[in-house]
Amino acid sequence: MAVGAVPRHVAIIMDGNGRWAQQKGRPRVFGHIRGCGRVKPVVREADRLGIKALTLYAFSTENWSRPEQEIAVLWRLLKKYLVREADELHRRNIRFRVIGEVERLSPDLREVIDKTTQRLSGNTGLQLTFAVSYGARRELARAAKLFAEDVARGRRKPEEMNEDLMEHYLWTAEMGDQAEVDLLIRTSGEMRVSNFLLWQAAYAELYFEDACWPDFEVAHLVRAVNDYASRERRFGSVPEPKATSKPPVGQNAQPLLPSISLELC
């Protein structure tokens, strides 16, 4: 990909809500409430910047180990966000999906998710995805199980499995080639991926932001995108040769590969 390009798929680990609140002497859920309010401007800005897919990590499979009360607040906030924002998302031609173990969510939350997903499914703009009860290891184990079932039923042969086919069994299958994450942002200064999009972000550029999620402003997103634009993505290859000026008349051009004696190695 050319240097200077806008990332097509940006994924964000929205971290630091609890610490943000505790630094202010408030309960952790206060951070979740403020953090929820940061989603709207970030979605708008992602759309304005021309990002095609935005995936937000809202709740991990590991987050089920948190106190029940904290989890309940997170579900209420998710529901409220969807109910409140559906109109605006629709006006902006934004599609919406959830990836993760939706079957573990309460029926009423699932209903809101399904309604929102359906209502926005015909839109053709930014693909907004919430990762909810999501874990990349769970996603990969599930993919292996689904493929094994297809083999057992005679729909597939083991030798058919390859990287392209694997993607059909992931939660991100419907995203097609947009599933590949270009830029992975994590807030709050933590430098780990915490079981997020391990397959899809295999070649993502990583960006760590010190601000906690409730302090994450549109300007932080712009900075991350600009930083991304300055990076050279090589995907394991060698840098593109720079355009060189012609050798002076009468001199031979430099050979592309200098003759190095392999015995030196």
Q: Which residues bind ligand IPE (CB under 6 A)?
A: 13-19, 57-60, 62-63, 74, 188, 190, 192, 194
Q: Which does 13 bind (CB under 5 to 8 A by kind): ligand IPE, Mg ion, none?
A: ligand IPE
The interface region with Mg ion, picked from 7-15, 27-35, 129-137, 174-182 by CB under 5 A, is 7-15
Question: Which CB atom, from 96 or from 196, has the smaller least distance to Mg ion?
Answer: 196
Exactly one of 17, 47, 63, 123 is catalytic; name it.
63
- Ramachandran area for residue 180 (φ above 0: left; ψ -120 to 50: alpha; else beta): beta
- CB crowding 175-193: b at 16 or more within 10 Å, else e: beebbbbbbbbbbbebeeb
Question: Which CB atom, from 178 or from 194, has the smaller least distance to Mg ion?
Answer: 194
Question: Which CB atom, from 15 or from 47, has the smaller least distance to ligand IPE?
Answer: 15
CB of 32 to ligand IPE, least distance (A): 6
* Burial status of residue 6 (CB atoms within 10 A of its CB: 0-12, 13-18, 19 or more): middle
Helices 68-91 and 28-37: angle between axes, nearest 10 degrees:
10
9-48 residues in contact with Mg ion (CB under 5 A) are: 15
Specify whether 15 is catalytic: yes
Question: Which CB atom, from 96 or from 130, has the smaller least distance to ligand IPE?
Answer: 130
Question: Which CB atom, from 38 or from 95, has the smaller least distance to ligand IPE?
Answer: 38
Q: Decide if 95 contacts 129 (C-beta within 8 A).
A: no
Site size toward Mg ion, by CB under 5 A: 1
Q: Decide if 128 contacts 96 (C-beta within 8 A).
A: yes
Q: Decide if 4 contacts 229 (C-beta within 8 A).
A: yes
Q: Using CA atoms, how far apart are residues 98 and 82, in angstroms rounded to an integer?
A: 11
* Residue 59 φ then ψ, to 5°: -165, 125
CB of 155 to ligand IPE, least distance (A): 34
Convert 148-164 into a string of H (helix), E (strand) and C (coil).
Answer: HHHHHCCCCCHHHCCHH
> Can you read off the two tokens belonging to residue 94?
């934004």
Q: Which does 19 bind (CB under 5 to 8 A by kind): ligand IPE, Mg ion, none?
A: ligand IPE
Q: Does 209 bind Mg ion (CB under 5 A)?
A: no
Specify whether 252 is catalytic: no
Q: Which does 59 bind (CB under 5 to 8 A by kind): Mg ion, ligand IPE, none?
A: ligand IPE
CB of 188 to Mg ion, least distance (A): 7
Q: Please tell me whether residue 122 adopts helix, strand or coil conformation.
A: coil
Give me the active site residues, please. 15, 63
Q: Which residues bind Mg ion (CB under 5 A)?
A: 15
